[in-house]
Structure 1
Amino acid sequence: MDEGHSAHRSAFQRDRDRIIHSTAFRRLKHKTQVFVEHEGDHNRTRLTHSIEVGQVARTISGALGLNVELTEAVALAHDLGHTPFGHAGEDALDECMAPFGGFDHNAQAIKIVTDLERHYAEFDGLNLTWECLEGIAKHNGPVLEDIPFALAEYNAKHDLELHTHASAEAQVAALSDDIAYNNHDLDDGLRAGLFTIDDILHLPLVKPCFAEVDRKYPNLDPDRRRHEALRRVFGLMVEDLLTESRIWLDKSGAQTAQDIRNLDHPVIAFSDELLSGLNAIREFLYANMYRHADVLVVREEMTAVLRNLFHRFMDNPELLPEGWTPYSDDFARARLVADYVSGMTDRFALKLHKEWGAVS
């Protein structure tokens, strides 16, 4: 709905502010990034990850002359729909929801900001701008096939032009996510002892950064050495994205945001060389962190927890809290249960699981 203009902030600033003040954003403090929230005080959570993505996106957007507030809003909102226990939780909930339209965290973010946040007198959700909703929905690119249920449901009422690319601002948010998690997952993995610095020195983006630090600061203590090298990896990614994106933006000839949407390719991109190095980091992290034996043990445990919670609420909908009115038909009830369970923090989900025990 049209709320009119604010005397002190733009519509995109209002979007960003409402996202920051939302309940869903606060809950990210206790949601898994890679490690379950209680496993270490210094590991990233979904909240710290989102803040880091917002910082990177804001810097890149400003350097490219884009709308900084819109970019930051999309970046801060991009993980609002994540379940407890990270991707393990999402995979488990998607499996549980397979007969009921499935589950997708990007689509769930749309449902949160358009419906499930219910604090304002005149509307459900946060009443974000179309541009912000579009960016949340398709920051990873056009959604052409297998449109997630929650996104299709909303798009039927409010067309987000899912077949087109998102704005340049949303594209910046998406690649800022790549920069942030690839860099901080290296840092968290090293801190957790899942691998060592020697294990990552073969990576093409990492090796020259450690070599530069060792030349400039010989005999630096290990913590400072790691930090100095990884911040240089971070800088390489940002500088490459800026250089390559300026080329693509210039070549596109786009004069408006709609021109960007109508292109058959993104305008925010890494160079082929950087992307190759980034893929090498991803492959390393997948093999040595995300699929590490210790991480997989916890993943299996958390998967069982989430399945337990889903089936317990499905079988006993009266356990849902006040305001979460259960439906009589299985499909509608499952969608409601998914909304509730996906919004839980790690600690709340574990608390309920402990209280209830396993499903018999």
Structure 2
Amino acid sequence: MANYACDPDQARGRLFAEEESAFRSCFQRDRDRIIHSSAFRRLKHKTQVFVEHEGDFFRTRLTHSIEVAQVARTMSNALGLNTDLTEAVALAHDLGHTPFGHTGEDALAELMAPYGGFDHNAQALHIVTALERHYAEFDGLNLTWDTLEGIAKHNGPLLPLAEGETLPVTLAAYNARHDLELHTHASGEAQVAALSDDIAYNNHDLQDGLRAGLFTEDEIAELALIAPAYAEVDAKYPGLDPYRRRHEALRRVFGYMVEDVIDTSRARLEDAAPQCAEDIRQLGRPVIAFSDDMWEKLKEIRGFLFRRMYRAPSVMEIRGKVTQVVRDLFPLYMAEPEKLPQRWRSEIDRARDEAELARLVGDYIAGMTDRFALQAHADLLDIDVLHDIR
């Protein structure tokens, strides 16, 4: 590893002290605890763009997280960073997502606005520090400071706040107890995890959109980043089967993005010359980045996906229906908290006010999978919101 990598022997420790493992580094233990968590398993039935009933080919949060971790390990290794810490942050980055992807998050954030708001990154931290309850001596997974920092601020510093902004309640409460230094950038490992997320979803959303018939290969082949990939494949494999042609082209696009980040980040690291992991945190700017040219090409892809996939009429129809599921369940549980499962009752009894009750209800709904939310809605309200689409 490079001298600016996070060294497990120099990790900042855990909130609750534990004996170190004889066989695994502290970052390897963090990664393994995340993989074995209940929240990680639930990602299997939480979707990205398409709701689960639309087919089992499309990405879920679980397959997405695995793909992000694969990209992150590759880039982290190439840049001399700690691959175990990078992988831990990558695998945990989506733990806080609600059912129904960003649609569910938007609905829950609107409902939670009077009670401190909802943010999936803050929820991921809340899950690994409080909601996972398996260990005898602590709530959460008791991850290292380094991993928690990466989960909280892999997208950049969270302080100072812009005018009118506030930190999510759960994040502020944990940070008051265990300072994650929210005013600095995260480690290089966490920055790699963040860009790996961008690479993975840009690539697989193109694949899923093609599979769903929302656009054609001829249309995406006109995009600046994708055109050279198809040209390269057609020159090397003329007359190739359409599905193999598609795969060969998009795997090259994947490679373009990864190579761009590695090349750009190497140059930035050489320029910054960090001597330790802390130098990266204190630099005041990211060291892991796309080139300006790549960023412009990715903006073109994102704009295309927004118009043709995320706002496609068929997708918007489903979004409206599943938004109603969240909007119906939240007030129902607020009015009748006894309908929550037994293990949540003691928490409800200790809630001191409406805001605490709302945060408990929000935690419960956020933890639901797509199928569980749909089934709970059908059971409690006798409504099958997707009956005319199934």
TM-score under structure 2 length normalisation: 0.91
Who is 1:87 aligned against? 102
Who is 2:123 aligned against? 108
Looking at structure 2, the residues matched to 316 and 307 of structure 1 have their Cα atoms a distance apart, in angstroms, of 15
Who is 2:3 aligned against? none
Deviations 1:20-75 (A, max 9, x none): 00000000000011111221111000000000000000110011110000000000
Is 1:227 equivalent to 2:227 in the alignment?
no
Looking at structure 2, the residues matched to 149 and 278 of structure 1 have their Cα atoms a distance apart, in angstroms, of 33
Who is 1:2 aligned against? 17
CA contact (8 A) 1:83 1:341 kept: yes
Looking at structure 2, the residues matched to 33 and 344 of structure 1 have their Cα atoms a distance apart, in angstroms, of 14
Is 1:264 equivalent to 2:279 in the alignment?
no
1:339 counterpart (353, 363, 366):
363
Deviations 1:168-201 (A, max 9, x none): 0000000000000000000000000000011111
Secondary structure of 1:323 counterpart: helix
The count of aligned residue pairs is 359
2:327 counterpart (298, 304, 307):
307
Looking at structure 2, the residues matched to 328 and 149 of structure 1 have their Cα atoms a distance apart, in angstroms, of 15
Is 1:99 equivalent to 2:119 in the alignment?
no
Who is 1:357 aligned against? 381
Deviations 1:299-327 (A, max 9, x none): 01010001111111001011111221212
Deviations 1:64-104 (A, max 9, x none): 11000000000000000000000000000000001100100
Is 1:35 equivalent to 2:63 in the alignment?
no
CA apart distance, 1:358: 7.1
Is 1:131 equivalent to 2:155 in the alignment?
no
Looking at structure 1, the residues matched to 301 and 17 of structure 2 have their Cα atoms a distance apart, in angstroms, of 45
What root-mean-square deviation, in Å, do the aligned CA atoms of Structure 1 and Structure 2 show?
1.0
Looking at structure 1, the residues matched to 105 and 169 of structure 2 have their Cα atoms a distance apart, in angstroms, of 15
CA apart distance, 1:328: 5.0
Looking at structure 2, the residues matched to 147 and 128 of structure 1 have their Cα atoms a distance apart, in angstroms, of 21
Looking at structure 1, the residues matched to 326 and 286 of structure 2 have their Cα atoms a distance apart, in angstroms, of 36
CA contact (8 A) 1:20 1:76 kept: yes
Q: Which aligned segments of 4 or more residues in structure 1 are displaced greater than 3 angstroms?
A: none
Looking at structure 2, the residues matched to 292 and 231 of structure 1 have their Cα atoms a distance apart, in angstroms, of 25
CA contact (8 A) 1:308 1:358 kept: no
Deviations 1:331-353 (A, max 9, x none): 00000000111000000000011
- Structure 2: give runs of 5+ residues left out of the alignment: 1-15, 384-390
Secondary structure of 1:220 counterpart: coil
CA apart distance, 1:216: 0.6
CA contact (8 A) 1:139 1:173 kept: yes
Is 1:296 equivalent to 2:316 in the alignment?
yes
Who is 2:10 aligned against? none
Deviations 1:202-234 (A, max 9, x none): 211100000110111111111101100000000
TM-score under structure 1 length normalisation: 0.98
CA contact (8 A) 1:96 1:307 kept: yes
Who is 1:12 aligned against? 27
Looking at structure 1, the residues matched to 54 and 361 of structure 2 have their Cα atoms a distance apart, in angstroms, of 27
CA contact (8 A) 1:71 1:169 kept: yes
2:209 counterpart (189, 195, 218):
189
Paired amino acid for 2:370: D
Q: Give percent identity, aligned residues only.
A: 69
2:83 counterpart (36, 53, 68):
68
Deviations 1:113-165 (A, max 9, x none): 00000001111100100000000000000002232222111111110000100
Looking at structure 2, the residues matched to 107 and 71 of structure 1 have their Cα atoms a distance apart, in angstroms, of 18
Paired amino acid for 2:118: F
CA apart distance, 1:253: 1.5
- Structure 1: give runs of 5+ residues left out of the alignment: none
Who is 1:141 aligned against? 156
Looking at structure 1, the residues matched to 360 and 380 of structure 2 have their Cα atoms a distance apart, in angstroms, of 20
